[in-house]
Structures are given as C-alpha cells and as structure tokens.
Amino acid sequence: MRECLSKFYRFLISGPVFLAVFLIFVGQTFPKSLETTPAKKLQLDSGSPEEIRLFDEISFMRDSLGSLSSNEVIGGELDSSFRRNADKISNFGYDSNPYWFKFRAEVEEPISEERYLRIEYPHLDKIDLYWKDSLGREGEYHTGNLTPFKERPVKDRYFVFPIPLEDKAEVEVYFRVESEGSLTIPISLITRSKWEESFRISLVLNGIFFGALGVMVFYNFFLFLGIREKAYLYYTIVVFSFVLFTLISSGYGFWLLFSDFPKWGNYAFAAITPMAMFFLILFSQEYLQTRNSHPRLHLLSKLLAGVWVLTLCASPFFPLHKLLPIIAVLSILGILLLLFVSVLRALKNDRRAKIFLAAWILGLTGIIMFSLNRLGLWESEPIASGALKLGLLSNVVLLSLGLVDRINTFRKEKEEYKEKADQLLELSLLDPLTGVANRRFFDQELDREWNRSLRTERPLSMLMIDVDYFKSYNDTYGHLKGDEILERVALALKDCLNRSSDMISRYGGEEFGVILPDTPVEGAIVVALDMLQTVEDMQIVHEKSPFSRVTVSIGVSSNLDREIHSPQELLGAADKNLYDAKSFGRNHIRH
C-alpha cells in the first residue's frame, strides 16, 4: 500500500511537470493552420451589418527578423508572402516576433455613418496601422500598451481606429503588431453608434462585476478584522488580486491605473498572478487543513508556493514572452493540485472541502480557458475572458459563503465550549454533597451584593445557620447518615427561599450561609423563622438532641446596622448572632 501511494505521489509531481512542458511546447512551436487561398475582399454598402467580424478577409505575415519596413509592406512588394489564417480569430500564442496583417474593403456606395476598426484584445505592446484608398487618401496610427493611453485615436480599453469608409472607394488597411504577451487579434469593423452602445454596455456590466468583487474584498477584510484569523487575511488578498488581475486583463487597468506609466502595466500583469496564487495556496492550506490531513500534499503545495515566489521575483527581469506561458501553465497546475486535495477531503465528508470544490469547478474552467487562449490553443478571447470572470466571481461568492459557514461552525463550537465551561464553572461553584453553592461562590456573591447595596442604597441581610448537635448525630448514626441529613437540610432550607436573587451556600461543615438582597432585618427574621420551623417539621430523629429531632440555630444580620461597614463585618455579625442562638439553647434565632 505504501509503495502504491509513493508511486502515486511521484506521478502527482512528475505528471504536471510533463503537462506544463507539453503545453508550453504546443503553445509556442506548433504552427498556425494556414491557407494559401487569398483573403476575401470585404464588400460594404448601406445595408451592411453594424458590426462585421473579419475572418476570411484577414491575411497575415510573420516578420521573423523584425526587419521589414512599412514602405516595403504597404508598397505591395510582399503581398505574395501574406497567408490567410484558417482560424476565425488570429491567435499566435506567446510569440514576440512582429506580425503584419492586411485586409481590403470595397465601399460600393456612399455610407452615411463612420466605421471603426476594433481589435478586441487589450494586451498588445505595439500597433502600427496604415491605410490608403483609391481616392489617394492615406493615414496612419501608432499605439499599443507601451504608448501612453492619451495617444490612442479613440479612448477605449480596446484598440479602436477610425477608418474612412464613407465614400465609394477601395480601401487597403495594413497593421503591424508586436507583443511580449499572448498575440491574439480579434478584429471587427463597427459603426460609431454600435461602438458607443457596446462601450456603455461594457462599462455597466464590468462595473457590476468589479463592484461585486470589491464588495467581497471589503466583506472578507472586515471579517478578518473581527475574527483575526489568517485564512480571512489570505483570502482578502486573493480576492483583491483577482480584482487587479481582471481589471488589467480586461483593459481597464491600463486605462485607469497605468495610463501614464505604460511599461508598468505589463509587469503588473505578470506579477499579480504569482501573488494571487501564492496567497491562494496559503489560504487553501489553512482552509483545508492540509498540514494535518495530507502532509505530503501540504509539502508539495509549499514547494509550489515557493515557485510562485521565485516567479514573482523574476517578473521584472525575465522576458515576458517566456515568463507568461509558464505562469499560465502553473496556474492550471496549481488549481488542479488544490482541487485534488479538496476531492480527497470531500471524500472524507469534509463540508468545507465540498464548498471549496464547488467554488473551484467554474473557477478552474475559466482559468483553463483563459490560459489556453493565451497559449494560442483556444480561439475566442471574449468567451475565455467571460468564462474567467464568471468563474472568479462564482468562486469568490461560494468561498465567501464557505467562510461564513466556517464562522457559523466556529460560533457553534464556541457556544458548545461556553456551555461546557459554564457547566464546569457551575460545578466548581457547587458543593458536591448538598448541591447548593459552595464557600467560594458565597464569598463572590457577598462582595457583589454588598457593592450593589451601596450603589442602590438598598438593604442587605444575611443568615448563618448551623445544624444543632451534628457531631453527636455523626457519632450515633455514622457519617453516611450525617451526609444524608446535610443534603436533606440544605434542600429544605433552599425551598424556603422564594426569590431568584436569594442564595444559600454550604459555608463549611454543618454550617450554611444565606444572602438576602433587598431585604431588611424584619424580612430576614421571617425567612429565618420559616427555615427553623421547616427543619423541625421534617421530624428527623436525633436521639442525642434534647429536642429528639434534627433542628437548626440561626444568626441574622443586616447592613442597616450602623456598626456594620463592610461585608466582613456583616458576616461577623451574623456569625456572632449564631453563636448567641446556640448559647441560648439552640433551635433559636438571634438578631
């Protein structure tokens, strides 16, 4: 069995490494499927759709040496080198070489509305776009993530370029793209009114999404402030990292955070993922309790956390086109490892692991689709980004609910512990023989009631009670019978107290003390007489007593006595009166 487990753990370590190398190899070395047939010419008229996705109309050329000039390409000398991409979206994975794209459009009749060329991928370092038409007009734009945001021709999170397509003419558009990150080029022609509509809808939807994540950040942070548990701090950092990651990946980060510092945007994008994954591993270790449940997997997760720290430190110095594919693959493998641990815990009927597993199913789907898109193995960037956002949002919500469930569990455990502690405290304050309070509790209550009496200026009285001739009873009937009599007398005396604030305790041996809050000496005497008669009426035979039955003597005191200035003096006065009652012949009260 141990040998099988050892082989399994070796597979768990070597399998992901092999998969990582394979995915990076596939994403970077396999050529894109090409077609030698020329690209179609786009026909435009007044009846054309408001938004046109460009697929068959796009052809591209890879500039392996990066030496081609715009004049060479636009002049038409290299048109034969362009190839049409068979995929619906041009996605070349992580390739730092420049690519040239072109398409032709024929405007068959004058069109009233302006159209934009939109590249719906916000992470392209350099874009140089050139256009010319059959009327002799031409123009160019230069932008990208390494260019300040204010220099973009149209203020948008994507790259949007006005193209003059209103007049009847043929238009040729060439653009050069170069990027250290994933090279994804989803292209469309869109009317200005349609662009404005999609711009507003995108702002609203993304505002709701980021607002929801922002709420969860503050929610979990305030939970941490209230509970002071590391898991909540780790998860707050994870959710905050998710917010930054999706803010940058959606293009809004460059617009809102790095508009004047374009180079920092790329490095921030490369650094946030390692930070998020590092704290996600720490959170998972705390949440799933891997240290105790799965020590080997806990060690593996610690090693993976170390890899993320190294990746984070390397991000400012390592070429992004080499670093980003590693990050993409490690993200998939890290989530797979955490899912595997949660499956093992869920099989043991761990409620927290079940919530964790449910939270990461959609999250993993989104991360895998997003990573495969960046590696060039998944075409649709909008679907990949949408799946990532949906997965992260569902993950954050479910895990936050899981943390709430954990709070409820802690609360129940705390209540159970408090109940047990109260029981233990009660036992520690009770006399085990008679079941009434013990001397310790009596002293505490006497001090508390004395202070309350001073504060409220209300009377406080006390009774000191002694079982008459108890030593003789023990000598005659034995100690077991004596203990039984003490228990019966204690219960009888307790039954004489009608208020919840009144308290009786076993003061020591055969002596009992009674505290009577808000009771003047007259009321205390009434209670003492009742107790005296109740015990005598029990008719417990005592041959050595002159009364032939068990009786008690009682001393009464009250703080209304001007000579009493402390709880000790109140107790002393009651004890002195008890001594006088016994001297008077027992079965009496004195005050």
Assign 91 a pLDDT band (cuts: 50, 70, 90): confident
| 346 Cβ contact list (under 8 Å, min separation 6) | 353, 354, 357
- pLDDT surpassing 70 at residue 145: yes
Residue 27's pLDDT is 44
Average pLDDT, the chain: 82
What's the Cα-to-Cα distance from 163 to each of 115, 138, 431, rounded to whole Å? Answer: 6, 10, 94
User: Over the stretch 92-130, which tens digit does the pLDDT of each residue have?
Assistant: 777 889 999 999 999 988 888 899 999 988 888 899 999
70 with 153, same domain: the answer is: yes
170 with 86, same domain: the answer is: yes
Q: Please state the rounded mean pLDDT for residues 435-461.
A: 88
Decide if 378 is inside a domain. Answer: yes
Higher pLDDT, 211 or 28: 211
Tokens of residue 453, six digits: 């009496």
- pLDDT surpassing 60 at residue 225: yes
147 with 209, same domain: the answer is: no
pTM of the complete model beyond 0.85: no
Question: Structurally, how many domains does the chain consist of?
Answer: 3
User: Which residue from 60, 69, 22, 8 is spatially nearest to 39, judged by alpha carbons?
Assistant: 60
CA gap 162, 333 in Å, rounded: 42
| Burial group, residue 296, by CB count within 10 angstroms (0-12, 13-18, 19+) | middle
Decide if 511 is inside a domain. Answer: yes
| Least confident range of 225-239, 267-281, 407-421 | 407-421
Residue 7's pLDDT is 44
Residue 402's pLDDT is 67
147 with 255, same domain: the answer is: no
Q: Please state the rounded mean pLDDT for residues 171-199.
A: 89
CA gap 120, 386 in Å, rounded: 13
Residue 221's pLDDT is 83
CB of 262 within 8 A of CB of 146? yes
Decide if 417 is inside a domain. Answer: no
Decide if 430 is inside a domain. Answer: no
398 with 541, same domain: the answer is: no
Q: Of 174, 195, 216, which closes a domain?
A: 195
Q: Please state the rounded mean pLDDT for residues 44-68.
A: 88
Residue 515's pLDDT is 93
Decide if 369 is inside a domain. Answer: yes
- pLDDT surpassing 60 at residue 2: no
98 with 213, same domain: the answer is: no
Q: Of 373, 391, 411, which closes a domain?
A: 411
Higher pLDDT, 376 or 323: 323
Residue 28's pLDDT is 44
Residue 351's pLDDT is 76
Report the SS3 class of residue 117. strand
Q: Which domain holds residue 444?
A: 439-589
Higher pLDDT, 559 or 435: 559
484 with 553, same domain: the answer is: yes
| Least confident range of 130-134, 396-400, 428-432 | 396-400
User: Over the stretch 457-485, which tens digit does the pLDDT of each residue have?
Assistant: 889 999 999 999 999 999 899 989 999 99
191 with 208, same domain: the answer is: no
Decide if 158 is inside a domain. Answer: yes
Here the CATH number for the domain that contains residue 256 is 1.20.1070
Q: Of 195, 230, 246, which closes a domain?
A: 195
User: Which residue from 180, 128, 146, 181 is spatially nearest to 262, judged by alpha carbons?
Assistant: 146
232 with 178, same domain: the answer is: no
Tokens of residue 532, six digits: 């005296």
CA gap 288, 265 in Å, rounded: 34
| Least confident range of 277-281, 288-292, 308-312, 547-551 | 288-292
Decide if 3 is inside a domain. Answer: no
Decide if 301 is inside a domain. Answer: yes
